[in-house]
Each structure stands twice: as structure tokens, then as C-alpha cells.
Copies of this chain bind each other. A is one copy, B any other.
């Protein structure tokens, strides 16, 4: 499979695919006669998995570590599992945090009066902003970014 096809099938750009190879996320790619990359179809599944890791916020350096372990053969299985378990735990935490924020968001939206008919001056309580339940702030632990 050529790079354009792989890009199409995985949703990664050709540039990103070469970049991933450079940094060691993808294994040694075979080349055809013209020294063009000729991917094994199994790479699609691996990239699919990488996308899951990425979606769940795993930093690239950690994916690299995982990829390195993977290419290290069966003796790295325990380490790989440990990584995934740790990651799963973080994802759980992230989801919980997101859900907590959703509640706040809902409250805030509800505070902006009921529907499009209202919106009179006496309803400006939301200009106070902040968390109507408790202004919980705490430390910066986990953040989330990017949409595109």
C-alpha cells in the first residue's frame, strides 16, 4: 500500500505518516522499486490503535515508548500492559473531570434563563460567573486541548 492510500484509510496526513515513521512510531517500512514506501496492510490496525491513544490524550513520547516496547517482542508484554493500564486509569480520571465540568456547564447554562423568550435585565445573575455550587479551583492537574 502506498502512502496516499494509507493516509486515506487512516485519516493521518502523508506528512504525519512520514513524521511518525521518523520519530519511531511506525516500524521499518519496506520500499518498492522506486524506493517509495510500500506499507503492509497490518499498519492500518496499528495506526488505528495509535489514534485511540492520541484521542485519549496520550503524549507522543509515550506512544513512542509503547511502540519501542512492541518492537521488543513478547518479553515486553508485561510492560506494555502496565502502560495501557496506567493510561486507562488516566482516561478514567479525565472522563470524570469532564463530567464534573459538564454539570457546572449545565448549571451555568440554566442560569442564563430558560429559553429565547426571556432574557430580561433582572436575570443577569450569571454575570457573576464562577461556579454557582462552589468556586472549586484547585491545582492544574489535567488539561484538554485541540479540535481539529
Interface residues of A (CB under 8 A from B): 9-12, 42, 44-49, 51-52, 54-57, 59, 70, 74, 77-78, 80-81, 84-85, 87-88, 90-92, 94-95, 97-99, 101-102, 104-106, 108-109, 112-113, 116, 119, 121, 123-124, 126-131, 135-148
- Beta-carbon contact of B102 and A95 below 8 Å: yes
With the chains together, A28 CA to B124 CA distance in Å?
Answer: 20
With the chains together, A44 CA to B135 CA distance in Å?
Answer: 8
- Beta-carbon contact of B106 and A99 below 8 Å: no
For A105, list chain B residues within 8 Å (CB): 52, 56, 84, 87-88, 91
With the chains together, A137 CA to B7 CA distance in Å?
Answer: 11
For A106, list chain B residues within 8 Å (CB): 88
For A129, list chain B residues within 8 Å (CB): 42, 45-46, 49, 70
- Beta-carbon contact of A94 and B144 below 8 Å: yes
With the chains together, A25 CA to B74 CA distance in Å?
Answer: 51
Cross-chain pairs A/B with CB under 8 angstroms, 22 sampled: A9-B137, A42-B130, A44-B130, A45-B131, A45-B135, A48-B136, A49-B130, A55-B142, A57-B145, A59-B146, A74-B119, A74-B124, A78-B116, A84-B112, A88-B105, A88-B109, A140-B148, A142-B147, A143-B146, A143-B148, A144-B145, A144-B146
